[in-house]
Amino acid sequence: MTTGKPLILVVDDETHILHVVSLKLTNAGYDVVTAEDGEEGLELATTHQPDLIITDLQMPLMTGLEMCEKLKDREPTADTPVIMLTARGASISQQQLGRTSIASVIGKPFSPREILLRVQELLNQPQTVEQADD
């Protein structure tokens, strides 16, 4: 995939979150690939080498944190920034963050606009002004 647009991998076991986040990012001009669990996310991150990854913390098969730790150990994905989505009350220790490339943690529920602004910030892109469609 060489469209020149940044590629973002979205990993979440909740289909509606995958849909909402993917739609928001696609409408903002990003290429998006999705995975429904950490194992699939790890595989897609390795093959596609996205510019940024958005992942849920709690998922079946492999958690978002486990996936991030494995990505950090692989040369092509070691420095890929990650936005971690967490349910209320879930926390990630500084020690755990140190073993990953998690650049930002956003609690659920979240605004799709908040995700987009964080993506633009992490990819050093100008933030877009858009209509309130969240």
C-alpha of 32 from chain center: 10
| pLDDT greater than 60 at residue 2 | no
- Nearest Cα to Cα of residue 77 among 66, 65, 69, 86: 69
Average pLDDT along the chain: 89
Provide the 10 A C-beta neighbour count for residue 72.
17
pLDDT, residue 128, reads: 60
pLDDT, residue 40, reads: 97
The first and second tokens of residue 122, run together, are 């992490």
Q: 18 Cβ partners below 8 Å, 6+ apart? A: 10, 12, 34, 36
Fold of 7-120: Rossmann fold (3.40.50)
pTM above 0.85? Answer: yes
The per-residue pLDDT for range 48-95, each reduced to its tens digit, is 999 999 999 999 889 999 999 999 999 999 999 999 998 866 677 788
State the residue for tokens 């998922």: 59
CB 67 within 8 A of CB 55: yes
